[in-house]
Amino acid sequence: MSVSVRIPTILRTYTGGESQVTASGGTLAEVLEDLDASYAGIRARILDDNGALRRFVNVYVGNEDVRFLENLETPTPEGTQISVIPAVAGG
Protein backbone atom coordinates (compact mmCIF):
# COMPACT_ATOMS: atom_id res chain seq x y z
CA MET A 1 0.00 0.00 0.00
CA SER A 2 1.41 3.35 -1.02
CA VAL A 3 1.40 6.22 1.45
CA SER A 4 2.82 9.76 1.50
CA VAL A 5 5.27 10.74 4.21
CA ARG A 6 6.03 14.35 5.08
CA ILE A 7 9.67 14.66 6.11
CA PRO A 8 10.77 17.31 8.65
CA THR A 9 13.52 19.68 7.59
CA ILE A 10 16.00 18.00 9.92
CA LEU A 11 15.70 14.69 8.04
CA ARG A 12 15.64 16.01 4.50
CA THR A 13 19.36 15.31 4.15
CA TYR A 14 18.29 11.67 3.90
CA THR A 15 15.73 12.32 1.18
CA GLY A 16 17.83 14.55 -1.04
CA GLY A 17 15.95 17.60 0.15
CA GLU A 18 12.52 16.16 -0.62
CA SER A 19 9.86 17.24 1.86
CA GLN A 20 7.38 14.60 0.76
CA VAL A 21 8.17 11.03 -0.25
CA THR A 22 6.19 7.87 -0.90
CA ALA A 23 6.59 4.58 0.91
CA SER A 24 4.62 1.39 1.36
CA GLY A 25 3.41 -0.71 4.28
CA GLY A 26 0.22 -1.70 6.06
CA THR A 27 1.29 -0.27 9.42
CA LEU A 28 3.44 2.65 10.52
CA ALA A 29 6.19 0.21 11.52
CA GLU A 30 6.19 -1.27 8.02
CA VAL A 31 6.17 2.16 6.42
CA LEU A 32 9.21 3.20 8.46
CA GLU A 33 10.95 -0.02 7.48
CA ASP A 34 10.28 0.65 3.81
CA LEU A 35 11.36 4.26 4.23
CA ASP A 36 14.65 3.09 5.69
CA ALA A 37 15.19 0.77 2.72
CA SER A 38 14.97 3.81 0.44
CA TYR A 39 16.74 6.26 2.73
CA ALA A 40 19.18 4.31 4.84
CA GLY A 41 19.43 5.48 8.44
CA ILE A 42 16.27 7.59 8.55
CA ARG A 43 14.35 5.18 10.77
CA ALA A 44 16.97 5.35 13.51
CA ARG A 45 16.43 9.09 13.66
CA ILE A 46 12.71 8.61 14.31
CA LEU A 47 12.90 5.58 16.61
CA ASP A 48 15.09 5.13 19.68
CA ASP A 49 17.38 2.19 20.47
CA ASN A 50 14.42 0.23 21.81
CA GLY A 51 12.49 0.69 18.60
CA ALA A 52 9.98 3.10 20.14
CA LEU A 53 9.16 6.58 18.87
CA ARG A 54 11.73 9.09 20.08
CA ARG A 55 10.54 11.35 22.87
CA PHE A 56 10.76 14.56 20.82
CA VAL A 57 9.20 13.25 17.62
CA ASN A 58 5.49 13.30 16.86
CA VAL A 59 4.17 11.11 14.06
CA TYR A 60 0.71 11.64 12.63
CA VAL A 61 -1.32 9.23 10.52
CA GLY A 62 -3.87 11.41 8.81
CA ASN A 63 -4.21 14.27 11.27
CA GLU A 64 -4.02 12.12 14.40
CA ASP A 65 -1.01 11.68 16.66
CA VAL A 66 -0.23 7.95 16.60
CA ARG A 67 0.15 8.02 20.38
CA PHE A 68 -3.66 8.33 20.41
CA LEU A 69 -3.93 5.50 17.88
CA GLU A 70 -1.91 2.29 17.95
CA ASN A 71 1.56 3.82 17.92
CA LEU A 72 3.79 1.93 15.49
CA GLU A 73 1.06 -0.61 14.83
CA THR A 74 -1.31 2.07 13.54
CA PRO A 75 -2.79 0.92 10.20
CA THR A 76 -1.75 2.94 7.15
CA PRO A 77 -4.32 2.37 4.39
CA GLU A 78 -3.62 3.17 0.75
CA GLY A 79 -3.19 6.90 0.21
CA THR A 80 -2.66 7.74 3.88
CA GLN A 81 -0.79 10.95 4.67
CA ILE A 82 1.85 10.48 7.34
CA SER A 83 3.68 13.42 8.95
CA VAL A 84 6.85 13.32 11.04
CA ILE A 85 7.17 16.51 13.09
CA PRO A 86 9.50 17.74 15.87
CA ALA A 87 7.57 17.71 19.16
CA VAL A 88 9.12 20.72 20.87
CA ALA A 89 6.85 23.38 19.39
CA GLY A 90 4.03 25.32 20.96
CA GLY A 91 2.97 26.99 24.15
Min dist. Cβ of residue 29 to other proteins (A): 19
What H or E segment, with its residue span, contains residue 58? strand 57-61
Tell me, residue by residue from 14 to 43, as one string, x for binding to other proteins by CB under 8 A and - for no binding: ---x-x------------------------
Q: Is residue 69 packed enough to be buried (19+ CB in 10 Å), middle (13-18) or exposed (0-12)?
A: middle
DSSP reduced 3-state for 66: helix
Nearer residue to other proteins within complex by CB, 26 or 90: 90
Note the residues at the interface with other proteins (CB under 8 A).
6, 8-13, 17, 19, 45, 54-58, 60, 63, 65, 67-68, 83, 85-91
